[in-house]
Amino acid sequence: MEWIRTANLKKYNVIEAFHTFESLDWVKSGFEIVEGDIVYIYVGKPFSRIMFKTVCTCSQVEEYKRISDREFWGNPDEFNVRSDRIRLRLESKIVSDVLSIEILRKKHLIKTTIQGAYKAENYPELFSYIRQCFDEQDKHEISAYLRSLCENNDLQETEKNILAKARISQEYFKKKLLHKYGSQCAICGLDSKPLLVGSHIKPWAEATSAERLDENNGLLLCVMHDALFDRHFITFDEDGHIVISRSLTKEQRKILQIDPSIKISIRDETKCYMKIHYQKFFEREQSF
Ligand SMILES: [Zn+2]
């Protein structure tokens, strides 16, 4: 489910707060927003536009675990008010006016202004436009990121920047693999996106920047098969046949849904990466 929630800058400076924190705790106000829901934040005057795309990562934040964002409240006492809160993690930000109230009005997506909360099912056209704007924005961000990878040798780069870039590139990598594998685990066919991982064949830590983003260096796997592949309990030969560690018993293999008949298709561009994985697998097997 997708939502729009509004923010009054005089009351709470959400813009500054998102400069400081990656996630914020938002008063629930009775709306049943649950984990995984997308929440767009409409920022009131003087901006009067939708600026942030967030994802709900917790539908009930415990009071003692709250993010301490007192300084961003117009009246700091309001920070102390006890209330049901959800946690929203910033996904993306649009600074331009593509989602301003004037443009939304001109496009006849809203009548007057945005107040309270909006639910996607009641405003399909409005939400489809918002989605489209954020998709465009993400594409720009990724191409800017790819450019910066080629240019940026700045050693002063902050940890926060590095983490943000790592997250963007992981998401980009997963997106490409979701497309390539039709959003299914290459081994078992599980098709639940939150449970799928863009698994690097040559590990992230050992890969170059280009290799980290190269879809040929990836398999789309569910979390369980990713764990097996990442820890070299399984690998694949040149033709894509699975090779299973002899340390796994017959019963374990059954539980883990792996058997020697499994075969994935491996392109030539992937073979050089898989070769490294295959070698490591056999080095590891020696130890049993
Ligand atoms: Zn799987």
The reply to whether 178 and 93 lie within a common domain is no
pLDDT of residue 31: 86
Q: Ligand 1 centroid vs 193 CA: distance in angstroms?
A: 12
Tally of structural domains, the chain: 2
Query: Nearest 5°: phi and psi at 268?
Result: -55, -40
The beta-carbon contacts of 233-239 under 8 Å, at least 24 apart in sequence, are 234/258, 234/281, 235/274, 235/277, 235/278, 235/280, 235/281, 236/264, 236/266, 236/274, 236/277, 236/278, 237/278, 238/266, 238/271, 238/274, 238/275, 239/263, 239/266
The beta-carbon contacts of 258-263 under 8 Å, at least 24 apart in sequence, are 258/187, 258/225, 258/228, 258/234, 262/187, 263/239
pLDDT of residue 151: 60
Q: Which of 23, 26, 3 is nearest to 73 (CA)?
A: 26
Mean pLDDT per 10-residue interval, the chain, length 288 residues: 94 91 89 92 94 93 90 89 91 89 94 87 94 84 65 58 74 88 93 92 86 91 96 95 96 95 92 95 89
Residue 143 lies in a domain: no
pLDDT of residue 210: 81
The reply to whether 8 and 114 lie within a common domain is yes
Q: Ligand 1 centroid vs 82 CA: distance in angstroms?
A: 43
Q: Residue 6's domain is classified under what CATH number?
A: 3.10.590.10
Rounded Cα gap, residues 13 and 9, in angstroms: 5
Q: Ligand 1 centroid vs 185 CA: distance in angstroms?
A: 5
Beta-carbon-side half-sphere exposure of residue 238 (alpha carbons within 13 Å)? 0
Q: Ligand 1 centroid vs 104 CA: distance in angstroms?
A: 42
Looking at the DSSP assignment, which residues form a beta bridge with residue 263? 241
Which helix (H) or strand (E) segment holds residue 213: the answer is: helix 209-213
Q: Ligand 1 centroid vs 126 CA: distance in angstroms?
A: 36
Q: Ligand 1 centroid vs 230 CA: distance in angstroms?
A: 13
Rounded Cα gap, residues 2 and 4, in angstroms: 7
Query: What residues have their beta carbon closer than 5 A to ion ligand 1?
Result: 185, 187-188, 190, 222, 225
pLDDT of residue 152: 55
Range of the domain at 239: 174-286
Q: Which of 188, 268, 254, 172 is nearest to 221 (CA)?
A: 188
Q: Ligand 1 centroid vs 244 CA: distance in angstroms?
A: 14
Give the pairing of strands 218-222 and 196-200.
antiparallel
Residue 228 lies in a domain: yes
Residue 132 lies in a domain: no
Q: Ligand 1 centroid vs 173 CA: distance in angstroms?
A: 18
The reply to whether 24 and 116 lie within a common domain is yes
Q: Ligand 1 centroid vs 180 CA: distance in angstroms?
A: 16
Of 122, 148, 163, the domain-final residue? 122
Alpha helix (H) residue ranges in 29-113: 101-106
Alpha helix (H) residue ranges in 33-153: 101-106, 124-151
Residue 196 lies in a domain: yes
The reply to whether 13 and 102 lie within a common domain is yes
Residue 204 lies in a domain: yes
pLDDT of residue 59: 93
Q: Ligand 1 centroid vs 218 CA: distance in angstroms?
A: 14
The reply to whether omega before 46 is within 30° of 0 (cis) is yes
Of 122, 149, 164, the domain-final residue? 122
Q: Ligand 1 centroid vs 258 CA: distance in angstroms?
A: 9
Q: Ligand 1 centroid vs 187 CA: distance in angstroms?
A: 5
Q: What are the b/e assignments for 193-228, b being 16+ CB within 10 Å? A: eeebbbbbbbebeebeeebbbbbbbbbbbbebbbeb
The reply to whether 196 and 92 lie within a common domain is no
Residue 273 lies in a domain: yes
Rounded Cα gap, residues 258 and 234, in angstroms: 9
The reply to whether 115 and 202 lie within a common domain is no
Q: Ligand 1 centroid vs 94 CA: distance in angstroms?
A: 35
Of 90, 122, 154, the domain-final residue? 122
Residue 160 lies in a domain: no
Q: Ligand 1 centroid vs 250 CA: distance in angstroms?
A: 18
The reply to whether 22 and 96 lie within a common domain is yes
The reply to whether 94 and 179 lie within a common domain is no
